[in-house]
Amino acid sequence: MSAPEVRGANEMHGAIEVRGATVRYGEVLALDDVSLTVEAGRVTGLIGMNGSGKSTLFKTIIGLVRPTAGQVRLQGADPTSARRRGLIGYVPQSEDVDWTFPVSVRDVVMMGRYGRQGPLRRARAADRRAVDDALERVELTDLAERQIGQLSGGQRKRAFVARGIAQGADILLLDEPFAGVDKRSEATIVRLLRELAASGSTVLVSTHDLHALPSLADEAVLLLRRVLFHGSVAEALEPANLSRAFGLESDANPEEAS
C-alpha cells in the first residue's frame, strides 16, 4: 500500500500537523508513516502500550527527533521555529528529569519565561506575575521555594504544568502526566487542561489511565507505531479498538520502540 501524500506546509491547517512521519532507531521502526491533525481548543488523548511510539511521536513533534520521512508543522511553523517562538510547552515523563538538580519549584516554572527574556535571563515584573499566577493555578504557591526533587510525584507534575502555563504556550504536550500521581494532583491537572483547551490552547496528552480519559479528553488517538484510530473517546475505548492498540490482534507488529 502506497504512503499517503505529504501535503505542503501551506495546506496544513491544524495546530499540530504530522504528515507521513517515519522514525527509525537503527533497525527498529519507532513510527511508521504517522499522519495526525490536532485542532486548537481541544484535549486529545494519545493511547498506546509501552513501545507503541508515544514518546517518540512527542519528541518528533517538538523537534528533538528528526523523522527519516515526513514533516511536522505547529501552527504552520517547523518545530525549531515553534520552540523559539514559545509556541509549544512540553511536560516530560518523570524519568527524563534530574530531580537532584538544585533548583526550586519557582525556578522550574520561571524556565517557561526564558524565551521572553533577554540573554541574561533577567526576570521582569511581568515574568514574576506569570510565574506567581501559574503556581497559584496548580496549587503550589506554598511550595514555591522548595527544591523540585523534594516534591511528591503529583506535585512535580503540577510544577511542570505550571511551567507550560507561565510560558504562555499555545500548544502543550504532556507525556504520561498521571503516572504515579495522587488523586488530588490528577484532578488538578485534568481541570487545568480543560481550562487551557477552553481558552483556545491545544493539548495533547499521552496516558495509560483509560478510566480518566472520558473526563479529560475531547478525542483520542490510538497508536501502535502508526495511527490506528483517531476519533471520539467512546469509540476509542471500544474493546475491538483497544485490542488493536494493545497488540492483541494477530497482525500486530511485534517490533517495539520507546
Query: What are the sequence ranges of the domains in the chain?
Result: 1-86+171-177+201-258, 88-169
| pLDDT surpassing 50 at residue 255 | no
pLDDT at 258: 44
| pLDDT surpassing 80 at residue 224 | yes
pLDDT in tens, 47-105: 999 899 999 999 999 999 999 999 999 999 999 999 888 889 888 876 567 888 899 99
Q: Which three cell numbers stand for residue 162?
A: 505550571
Q: Which residues are CB-contacts of 64 (< 8 A; sequence separation ≥ 6)?
A: none
Strand partners of residue 230 = 221
1-86+171-177+201-258, CATH topology level: Rossmann fold (3.40.50)
Rounded Cα–Cα distance for residues 101 and 117 (Å): 22
Strand partners of residue 219 = 44
pLDDT at 25: 93
Rounded Cα–Cα distance for residues 131 and 163 (Å): 8
pLDDT at 115: 73
Of the ranges 6-15, 40-49, 138-147, 233-242, which one carries the lowest mean pLDDT score?
A: 6-15
Q: 69-74 and 16-25 as β-strands: parallel, antiparallel, unpaired?
A: antiparallel
